[in-house]
Structure 1
Amino acid sequence: MIAVIIPAHDEERHLPACLRSVARAAECAELAGESVRVIVVLDACTDGSARVAARHGAQAVRLQARNVGKARAAGAALALEQGARWLSFTDADSEVAPDWIAAQLAEAAQCVCGTVQVADWSGYGTAVRRQYEAAYRDEPGHRHIHGANLGVCAQSYQAAGGFAPLCSHEDVALVEALAVSGARIAWSNRPRVRTSARADYRAPQGFGAYLDRLHAEALGVAA
């Protein structure tokens, strides 16, 4: 069984599109009918995220941590209890490609780090987009790590100790632990994920915060 794990903190607005995209990926013919279970980790949610998850047939895990590392770990723990052989991670404000899961598995690695594409730059403008794209490598062999596009085999995940309880960079810490454990890591742009550039990002030092820093630098240059 394959598990897709999605942490969510008040994601009622973004979660439906995410879950629809995951459902399409779960039906990809290249998976040859293998079962895919979707787990939404409801972390301190006060909105309708639970109703959205239930409406789309996802399992739900509840906690009150406000910590993305703990949320991903809780989802992974449930998946492992249920016999998952592969763990695919994305974010509630992201949409995965129809062959996303299959593309991760096709790398035949213990861990797959994929790239992301920003769905809408309208909140930041062309200067920030140019800065971002100048520094970003959407190509094989990149060295980007995104919790929104990450896959790892269950055995290697457990050997590396799983996600650390970090509010940011929990994905980086896991990949570093996997590397130390000897896991084979694929740095691939074949698994495709579109993510948001929203201003109300959740991880204090995550992808949204990085875009904010680029925005501040662009304003400084302009001034």
Structure 2
Amino acid sequence: MTGPSSIEAIAVVIPARDEEDLLPGTLESVRAAAAHPGIGSVRVLTVVVADCCTDATGDVSRAAGALVVPVRFRNVGQARSAGVRAALGALDKGRGSVWIASTDADSTVGTDWLAYQLARAAEGWDAVVGTVTVDRWPPDKADLAVRYRHLYEMSRPPAGRPWHHPHVHGANLGVGSRAYAAAGGFPPTPLDEDRGLVDALERTGAHILRTSDCPVVTSARSTPRARGGFGDHLIDLDSAPLAASGNEAAS
């Protein structure tokens, strides 16, 4: 487990592919989270992994003070892994002293997002697996929004009881660097790299908190960057017959 006083730095890793439009909002939300009083003197380093970008993603990121790691993977698992390596190298901290927070370039985190994860690390959790909420539903997608929320929330217990949800999102994930290394890091897969990491954390005995207490807001855009990921899940759900969608589960 992560010790109560062992976190010396936080690395926020964001993979991006041609995200000059949405990324500024993401980076501003991370900046606000890094300024939360609960962070104290802990250093926060934001790393943007610009994967095969042809737009101003790198310039936007540098202007916001982020470390930019240009790669040509077209693979989100490799991109997240490269971002973690770059962050740990730049921070030059001892093993186990860095908290790795992962989000996405089309998402915005709450002002308490990093403080919440840091507090859970102090309690001894090795990883925090959070939920997402979807914003900016197109006006003609009201039915899709209802269907999505129903499927996503179907395992939630009655009010007042904690929800140990089944979801895994790279947009809302945190892990201590010692547990991350023991699990082998993000697998180099083009899909489900977040779930692959959490599965490995479970196999290695990490202390994992699944919680909906600090959700991240993500977009419902119809042009997702990672094929087969969350965006495609929404597209598939929108096109599925109503009866069939009732048997699916959101990732």
TM superposition score category, shorter chain reference:
over 0.9
Match of 2:138 in 1: 122
Within the alignment, does 1:212 sit opposite 2:221 as a pair?
A: no
State the partner residue of 2:159. none
Identity among equivalent positions (%) equals 43
Computing the radius of gyration from Cα coordinates, the structure with the larger value is: 2
Q: Which residue of 2 aligns with 1:154?
A: 177
Deviation at 1:120, TM superposition (A): 1.2
- Cα deviation, 1:68-95, whole Å, max 9, x if unaligned, reads 0000000001122222610000000000
Give the conservation status (yes or no) of the 8 Å contact 1:123–1:197. no
Q: Is the 8 A contact 1:114 1:146 kept in 2?
A: yes
TM-score normalised according to structure 1 size: 0.95
Cα contact 1:4–1:39 (8 A) shared by 2: yes
Deviations 1:109-128 (A, max 9, x none): 11111010101111661221
Q: CA separation in 2, counterparts of 1:135 and 1:105?
A: 30
Q: Is the 8 A contact 1:124 1:215 kept in 2?
A: no
SS of the residue corresponding to residue 50 of structure 2 reads strand
Deviations 1:6-62 (A, max 9, x none): 000000001000000000000010111211000000100000001100110000101
Aligned mates of 2:241, 2:114 — CA distance in 1: 36
Which residue of 2 is the match for residue 90 of structure 1?
103
> Which amino acid is the alignment partner of residue 52 of structure 1?
V
* Paired amino acid for 1:29: P
Does residue 1:181 correspond to 2:204, yes or no? yes
CA distance in 1, matches of 2:71, 2:181: 21
Match of 1:12 among 8, 12, 20: 20
Matched, 1:72 2:88: no
- The answer to whether structure 1 residue 37 and structure 2 residue 45 are counterparts is yes
Where does structure 2 lack aligned partners over 5 or more consecutive residues? 1-8, 157-161, 245-251
Does the aligned pair in 2 maintain the 1:87–1:151 contact within 8 Å? yes
Aligned pairs, number: 221
**In 2, Cα distance between the equivalents of 1:185 and 1:89?**
15
Distance 1:93 1:10 in 2: 11
Question: Is 1:99 paired with 2:107?
Answer: no
- Retained in 2: the 8 A contact 1:101–1:191? no
User: 3-state SS of the aligned residue for 2:196?
Assistant: helix
Matched to 1:105, the amino acid is L
What CA RMSD, in Å, does the superposition of the two structures yield over aligned residues?
1.6
- 1:51 is aligned, of 59, 65, 79, to 59
Q: Which region of structure 1 is more displaced relative to structure 2, 159-168 or 75-84?
A: 75-84
Single out whichever of 79-88 and 206-215 deviates more from structure 2: 79-88
Question: Aligned residue for 1:21?
Answer: 29
Question: What does residue 110 of structure 1 align with?
Answer: 126
Alignment match, 2:247: none
Cα deviation, residue 191, structure 1: 2.1
Question: Aligned partners of 2:168, 2:140: CA distance in 1, in Å?
Answer: 22
Output the CA distance in 1 between the equivalents of 2:219 and 2:241.
Answer: 19
What is the deviation of 1:106?
A: 2.3
